[in-house]
Structure 1
Amino acid sequence: MSEISRRGALGAGAGIAAATALGATGTAGASSAEPAKTTTPPYVFPLVKSAPVVHDGGTLRGAHEKNFPVLAGQQGSVYLVHLDPGGVREPHWHPSAWELSYIISGKADWSILGTHEDGSYHNQVFSASTGELVFAPQGFFHYFANASTTEGLDVLVMFNTSTGEPNDDIGIVGTLNSLPREILAASFGVPVSAFAAIPKDLKPVVITRRR
């Protein structure tokens, strides 16, 4: 082979090698530039993005053992409650859980009724604002309401149960309507007619608004 032919062959070989190297580099670069596929870990729940349960007066979003399986058997659940101006969380109690509520934004009016060591009922009426925690002991009757007529109220509510609401929630509407009118009248010391206007409906209200 002549010197010129040898040089041409070497040059062509070098060109092919360089092109191959560039091609490999380009392919590698394109591959590394692709976004990595991500999956949500089982320990993360998109609470704010989850579908809300809409009520007349506000919304409720929750993470519990049914929609966040990692909570199964862990005795824990959490809810994001939004109350519109004038919104009210139905008066209720939890037979098997305490309730710890953190005020994210707004101001809430509270009432908590429970028995105490001296055998009497104590009803605490108070307000809580942004950044404050409120604790309702297990079995204590309570409610909270948006104190504002112009601004919304957002509350993060935590329970030491994995059961979803309202399966651990007994509301005042269902409670009253589960009793005969004459029993209610006797208990309150008023005529039966005093309860005539109360709808006979056992379904939970959960969230409503002032009328």
Structure 2
Amino acid sequence: MYKDTILQEPGLTLAADSNRVLNYEKDPRNYLTQLFGEQFPAIDTGLFNIRLSQGNVVQPHWHTNASELVFVISGEVMTSIFNPFTQRLLTYRLSPGQVSQFPRGWFHWIVALSEQAHFLAIFDQPTPDVVLGSDFLRYLPKEIANRAYCANEAAYAAAVAPITESVILGPPPSCSV
């Protein structure tokens, strides 16, 4: 019903610029812009317009309310998806024009394999939710990591200590990978 109302508005716009709203910038070569319902009310989908340089990653995460399609425009990327039903990791190397699908709720990430990669992450919702792996790791109490996985509490705390904020594109600038 809401969409029908928007589509009947006299000032309806059915075009938008996905370069206008910066969502996150690691540096001038690694950033993502967005076009979601907030910027473009008539949209039934949403997207991130992503540019990454070689070795950079859209960090591991999952979406609680949306499936995602990655469409490569230029360069090469590797997408990885954890299948929760078969307990298998699925990995795909994509070139321009190729796509990879991430079903809703499946853990996934994307790594740039070429000097410069440009791709779209297109969602089946105008505003997707996201659970970032960095947040999960840094907020998991060391005592729970120990009880759940037999992880050494001190080692776990030391391993996640560098994660001081939500990380969207990695590695963080302070990391020497």
SS at match of 1:70: coil
Answering whether residue 159 of structure 2 is matched by residue 188 of structure 1, we say: no
Q: Tell me which residue corresponds to 1:25.
A: none
Answering whether residue 60 of structure 2 is matched by residue 91 of structure 1, we say: yes
Aligned residues of 1:92 and 1:141 also touching (Cα < 8 A): yes
Aligned residues of 1:176 and 1:184 also touching (Cα < 8 A): no
Which residue identity lines up with residue 155 of structure 1 in the other structure?
F
Q: How big is the shift at 1:196?
A: 2.2
Greater share of residues in helix: 1
Q: Tell me which residue corresponds to 1:122.
A: 88
SS at match of 2:65: coil
Aligned residues of 2:79 and 2:93 also touching (Cα < 8 A): yes
Q: Which has the larger radius of gyration?
A: 1
CA root-mean-square deviation: 2.2
Q: Tell me which residue corresponds to 1:69.
A: 41
Q: Tell me which residue corresponds to 1:154.
A: 118
Which residue identity lines up with residue 177 of structure 1 in the other structure?
R
Which residue identity lines up with residue 90 of structure 1 in the other structure?
Q
Q: Which segments of 5 or more consecutive residues in structure 2 lack a partner in the other structure?
A: 1-10
Identity percentage of aligned residues: 25
Q: So what's the TM-score if we normalise by structure 2?
A: 0.81
Which residue identity lines up with residue 70 of structure 1 in the other structure?
A
Q: Tell me which residue corresponds to 2:101.
A: 135
Which residue identity lines up with residue 58 of structure 1 in the other structure?
N
Query: In the TM superposition, what whole-angstrom CA distance separates every residue of 1:93-146 from its partner, at most 9, and x where no partner exists?
Result: 001110001011111122100222xxx412112311111010011100000111
Answering whether residue 65 of structure 2 is matched by residue 106 of structure 1, we say: no
Aligned equivalents of 1:202, 1:69: Cα separation in 2: 34
SS at match of 1:95: coil
Q: How big is the shift at 1:90?
A: 0.7
Q: Tell me which residue corresponds to 2:135.
A: 174
> Any runs of at least 4 consecutive aligned residues in structure 1 with deviations exceeding 2 A, and if so which?
185-190, 199-204
Aligned residues of 1:92 and 1:169 also touching (Cα < 8 A): yes
Aligned equivalents of 1:62, 1:51: Cα separation in 2: 6
Q: Tell me which residue corresponds to 1:59.
A: 31
Aligned equivalents of 1:107, 1:115: Cα separation in 2: 26
Aligned residues of 2:65 and 2:105 also touching (Cα < 8 A): yes
Q: How big is the shift at 1:152?
A: 0.7
Aligned residues of 2:78 and 2:110 also touching (Cα < 8 A): yes
Question: How many residues were matched structurally?
Answer: 160
Q: How big is the shift at 1:70?
A: 1.6
